Every structure is written in structure tokens, then in C-alpha cells.
Structure 1
Amino acid sequence: MSWQAAVETTVTGLGYELVDCERSAGGLLRVTIDKLQAQAEAGELITVDDCEKVTRQLQYVLEVEGFDYARLEVSSPGLDRPLKNAAHYARFTGQEIDITLKLPFQGRKKYRGVLGSQPGVESDQAWRLVFDDGAAEQALDFTLDEVREARLVPAFSFKGRGGEPAPDRKPGQRGVIKPKKAASKKQEGGAEAAAPGQDKVDGGLKQ
């Protein structure tokens, strides 16, 4: 069993969603957890107690499995939650996200808009971002392997804006949908880093 599999099995076995896990060169093992979708939609948030519960179990499992690490950090995903896989994109369809592309499109890599599926395309890897360039509302069609990073925008969700394509657009095309200006506000939140050599738990989202 790999350390990634051990972490995922432990987190899901305790009744949480594993949002992300990464291991740095310095030995930091960072694990991000969230409530399951039904619980989150009911308003439940990750708390410090949740993080402590997962931390204790992970410490035990990692020791038993013999996985070496310098420090363990378990935290909530924050308001700007990362989107890491197709299930995350499906869960947050209709919400505003920030994406950074691996390669620039029309001279830029970073886009902010409302996430939606590509009409007429049956694939959990193909998505659409509806955004405002200051003059008109446009659609950017992309696949997950084109994305370097994607995160939720911690602001009001404009549901339902990304669903209808322009009548003359074919699936996979990028272009103008309709003239319309929109404004959005971004709030930022974060957590302080733990001191070296200490395992860290972080929970309780500020909203």
C-alpha cells in the first residue's frame, strides 16, 4: 500500500472526503479534508475536532505501515477550496472558480468564471468556464489535463449562468455567448503555518 492509499483509506473510512494530500521534500505531509457532499450542503463545516480526529488516526496508520514523515498537517479546504478531479468539478458545477491553465490561451493563463459542462460532450474531463472579459460574456471550453490549478472563488455563487451555449457554437468551440457585464467580489482566507516539527490541525471555516 502506498502512503497516498493509506491516507485516502483512513480519511474516507472516518467518514470524510479527501480533498488533497501532498508530501513536500522537507517531509511535510499535508492532508486536506472536507465533509461529504450531503453534509456540506446541509451546512456542516470541518472543525478543529474533525482535524484532530483524522490526525490521530493517520499518525497511527502511518506508524503501523512504516511511512516516514517529518510533520503531519491536517486542515479544512478553506473558502478557496481546490478542485482536483472530475468529481470535484461535478460537485461545484454552477459555482464561480479560478483556473490557471498549463498553457496560455489568447495570451493568458488565468481565468475566473462560472463552471459548467460542455453541451453535447459526454465526458467528465470536458468542462466550460463562462466569464466576463469586460466587454462581453464568453465561454472557455477546456479539459482537466489542460488545467494547472483550479479553486473555488469565496464569493456569491451565480448559479445557472453557464448552462446555455450560443446557438451557433459547436461543442468544443470557444467564443462569445452574449453581451453582459457582471461583477464579483473575492474574499480571501488562510491559516497560519505550524512551527517546524509540530503536527498541525486546522479547522473551523470563517465565513
Structure 2
Amino acid sequence: MDATDRLEKLITPTIEDMGFEIVRVQISGAQRPVLQVMADRSDGAPMTVDDCADISRALSALLDVEDPISGAYTLEVSSPGIDRPLTRLKDFARFAGFEARVEMRLPVDGRKRFRGMIRGVEGENILLDMPEGNVLLPWVEVQRAKLVLTDALIEAAKKRYAAHAGDGADDGADDGADDGTEDGTGPN
């Protein structure tokens, strides 16, 4: 188990107790590492700036106590965005009907990179509709995948935001609060 896996295992209960799901945990940089935590709301509502700030505060407290990273580092909490990475098999079922780029660890039918319409999941495989036909990609061999930013994806995101506008989802407007930090999460 590498450092990223250990960190994900450590922070997952806190994230889930708060009503969120981890999309990705990543550590980058050598001089001053950056711990990036990408999260999504469990209820399907859009992530807000306040959601990211709440997660950041909770994780900061947990990481201060557990101290899993030696030395100074930066914690960065974000939403997955519209053209989000697809990091779980269930993401491919959820985003069926949208275009994705998928990169495989090992070649499938002589190639490692695929771009096509997600048709869903069959067992432990991803079904991708490409111009030359459908292809089944084994989930365990996916190295990296993400949605492609298209007009259809943007329209779906707008509808999702509109559907949740009345339930407390942040519309991104400034609420006038200014705590003196750039991202509103406190000192870095």
C-alpha cells in the first residue's frame, strides 16, 4: 500500500461521515508536497465552495492529529469539475451517454488510448461506443479516464445546478464574507 492509498484510507471515514465521497487523492511535488483531495457530494448535488472549505477544515484537524505526511505540505480540496476524472467503475454507469477519454495500462486490441461515448458497464468492464464500433475495456486495466468537455456535458451540468439551486447549493455568488485568505479556507 503506497502513501496515497494510506492517506485515502485514513481520510475516507471523515469524508463519508460528512456526506461526501472521495473521487481522487493525489500527492504531487517534491519540495513542498501538495495533497489534493477531490470530493463529490453523496446526494448528487453540486459541490460548493463551502463544501470544500468544510472538508478542508475537517481534514486539516485529522491530519494534524495523525501526522501522516512528514514535513510541510499543502492541502488542496476541490470538486471534480464538469470534465471530471472517472475514478470509480460506478462513474461510468453514472455518466453513460457522455464522451470520455480512457487510457489503459496495457493495450486492448492493439491500442492504449480510447475516446468514445460511454454506453455503461458490463460486469467489471466499461462499454465505450467509438466510431469504429463498441469496445469493452477491463476496469482493472484503466490507468486514467475523464469526461470530455462537450456541449452536451455542459448542458447536463447546467440542468443539475438548476435542479439543486433551491436546496442550498451555492451558485458561486460572493456572499460578502472576507476572511483575508485567497481561498477562504484559512491560513495555508
Structure-1-length-normalised TM-score: 0.62
**Pair 1:35–1:28, CA change in 2 (3 A):** same
Mind listing any 5+ residue stretches in structure 1 that lack a counterpart? 40-44, 158-198, 203-207
After superposing the two structures, state which structure 1 stretch, 86-95 or 104-113, moved more.
Answer: 104-113
- 1:4 matched to 2:44? The reply is no
Alignment match, 2:63? 62
Please provide the CA RMSD for this pair: 2.6
Between 1 and 2, higher relative CO (CA 8 Å, sep ≥ 6) is seen in: 1
Mind listing any 5+ residue stretches in structure 2 that lack a counterpart? 1-5, 154-180
Q: Which runs of 4+ in 1 moved over 4 A?
A: 199-202
Sequence identity of aligned pairs in percent? 33
Alignment match, 1:49? 50
Could you tell me how far 1:25 is from its partner in structure 2? 5.5
Separation in 1 of the partners of 2:82 and 2:108? 27
Counterparts of 1:50-199 in structure 2 under 5 Å? 50-68=51-69, 70-117=73-120, 123=123, 125-132=124-131, 137-155=132-150, 156=152
Separation in 2 of the partners of 1:200 and 1:58? 19
Higher Cα Rg: structure 1 or 2?
1
Could you tell me how far 1:99 is from its partner in structure 2? 0.7
Separation in 2 of the partners of 1:48 and 1:93? 27
Q: 2:41 aligns with which of 35, 38, 46?
A: 35
Q: Which amino acid is 1:5 matched to?
A: K
Superposed CA deviations along residues 132-173 of structure 1, whole A, max 9, x for unmatched, are 1xxxx511111112221111122215xxxxxxxxxxxxxxxx
- 1:23 matched to 2:23? The reply is no
CA contact (8 A) 1:73 1:201 kept: no
Number of aligned residue pairs: give it.
148
Which SS does the other structure have where 1:38 is aligned? coil
Higher share in helix: 2
Separation in 1 of the partners of 2:106 and 2:22? 28
Alignment match, 1:166? none
Could you tell me how far 1:90 is from its partner in structure 2? 2.2
Q: Which amino acid is 2:68 matched to?
A: F
Which SS does the other structure have where 2:50 is aligned? helix
Separation in 1 of the partners of 2:182 and 2:68? 18
After superposing the two structures, state which structure 1 stretch, 105-114 or 82-91, moved more.
Answer: 105-114
Separation in 2 of the partners of 1:25 and 1:5? 21
